[in-house]
Copies of this chain bind each other. A is one copy, B any other.
Amino acid sequence: MSDAPKIAIVGSGLIGCAWAVSFARGSCTVSLYDRDSSTVAQAPERVRTIATDMEAAGLLGDATAEEICARVSVADSLEQALSGVSHVQENVPEKLEIKQAVFAELDKLAPADAVLASSTSALLPSAFTEHLSGRARCVVAHPINPPSLIPAVEVVPAPWTDPDVVERTAQLMERIGQKPIRMKREIDGFIMNRLQGALLQEAFRLVDQGICGPEDVDIGIRDGLAPRWALVGPFETIDLNAPGGVRDYVERYGGMYERMAPSQRDPADWRGPVLDTIDTARRATVPLEDIPKAQARRDRRLVALMQHLGNADKKDR
């Protein structure tokens, strides 16, 4: 496609390479850059591995791994990477000084109308864009790793980000098959880590108070709530759990949640005795040296699950 956007990926580690595959799958032309020459040297092989695994799992849509690889190139310089791009996706280490330095450079070198997006999960966009002349075009586009597999991407504006930049970024994400979360303003933890944090606070609290063990919490989510949440989000869930929708649900069950709220205010001390309890339970299930094996199994099963969810969604519209 001649009108396919050109994208620069700055920082070509694992996340950068997964982003490259996502953008290329969406017909974009991708240019990879990394300050570290050994990282950039590994990038083409990494991109190929991700693309090949996804092709095998049927997750590339109509494209082949070969086509994906052909859309991704490695740039010798930042200037070269940024030439003619409409979107820059930055994935450098999560250190404030590094992000500040990189964004200053990007703002100087990127085409004036290019969006500058950071993959940061932990830094607010205001923290590293305030003093840039092009700060209105800076935004966070935070993926869940790897973006090539998990669709959700948080689009987070700083107070000075142009609302059009949020919308352009969200539309680009939709174009390549990601699912943008359009945030109205920045907040610590963005949306997903805040939701996960709220759940974890209750999980630590229940174990800390001796109500149940860590494995019981995992059963409650894994074998209880999460399968449905993987099909319908929490608001959709309650909306479909009362004949009159969410308003009816709040009428029927709001009182239950109100009653438990006061006992859900105070966080447990995560570093206290509860951590020993959780650590002991986890190490009895997965010894420390087996963590890489457990991660590999989780990753294989996640690929299979995303394939299932994609196919089932297509079949049952």
**Per-residue interface assignment for chain A, residues 261 to 300, with 1 indicating a CB less than 8 Å from any chain B CB and 0 otherwise:** 1011111001100010011011100101001001101101
Whether B271 lies near A235 (C-beta < 8 A) is no
Q: Within 8 Å of chain B (Cβ to Cβ): is A224?
A: yes
**Residue from the list B267, B286, B298, B305 in contact with A258, Cβ < 8 A:** B267
Whether A195 lies near B218 (C-beta < 8 A) is no
Bound CA–CA A266/B198 (angstroms): 12
Q: Within 8 Å of chain B (Cβ to Cβ): is A181?
A: yes
Count the A residues whose beta carbon is within 8 Å of the partner chain — how many? 104
- A123-140 contacts to B, CB under 8 A, are none
**Residue from the list B247, B302, B313 in contact with A228, Cβ < 8 A:** B302
Whether A220 lies near B200 (C-beta < 8 A) is no
- Chain B residues positioned under 8 Å from A291 (CB to CB): 239-240, 243, 245
Q: Within 8 Å of chain B (Cβ to Cβ): is A104?
A: no
**Per-residue interface assignment for chain A, residues 209 to 225, with 1 indicating a CB less than 8 Å from any chain B CB and 0 otherwise:** 01111111111111111
Whether B282 lies near A235 (C-beta < 8 A) is yes
- Measured CB to CB, the closest approach of chain B to A230, in angstroms, equals 4
- Chain B residues positioned under 8 Å from A283 (CB to CB): 245
**Given contacts A179-B223, A195-B220, are A298 and B231 in contact (CB under 8 A)?**
yes
Binds B, one of A50-58, A66-74, A112-120, A184-192: A184-192
As for how many copies of this chain the complex holds, the number is 2
- Chain B residues positioned under 8 Å from A254 (CB to CB): 270-271
- Chain B residues positioned under 8 Å from A238 (CB to CB): 200
Whether B182 lies near A211 (C-beta < 8 A) is no
Bound CA–CA A58/B224 (angstroms): 20
Whether A191 lies near B212 (C-beta < 8 A) is yes
- Measured CB to CB, the closest approach of chain B to A161, in angstroms, equals 14
Bound CA–CA A62/B264 (angstroms): 43
Bound CA–CA A4/B59 (angstroms): 45
Whether B211 lies near A234 (C-beta < 8 A) is no
**Given contacts A224-B150, A231-B222, A291-B245, are A199 and B188 in contact (CB under 8 A)?**
no
Whether A259 lies near B188 (C-beta < 8 A) is yes
- Chain B residues positioned under 8 Å from A172 (CB to CB): none
**Residue from the list B151, B202, B240, B282 in contact with A294, Cβ < 8 A:** B240
Bound CA–CA A259/B144 (angstroms): 21
Q: Within 8 Å of chain B (Cβ to Cβ): is A183?
A: yes
Bound CA–CA A283/B199 (angstroms): 27
Q: Within 8 Å of chain B (Cβ to Cβ): is A256?
A: yes
**Given contacts A122-B256, A203-B195, A220-B154, are A308 and B298 in contact (CB under 8 A)?**
no
Q: Within 8 Å of chain B (Cβ to Cβ): is A316?
A: yes
**Per-residue interface assignment for chain A, residues 302 to 317, with 1 indicating a CB less than 8 Å from any chain B CB and 0 otherwise:** 1011101100110010
Q: Can you give 23 A-B contacts (C-beta < 8 A)?
A: A151-B224, A152-B225, A183-B211, A184-B210, A188-B260, A191-B212, A191-B217, A194-B264, A195-B202, A201-B257, A218-B232, A218-B233, A226-B229, A231-B302, A231-B305, A239-B291, A246-B282, A254-B270, A261-B267, A265-B266, A304-B308, A305-B308, A305-B312
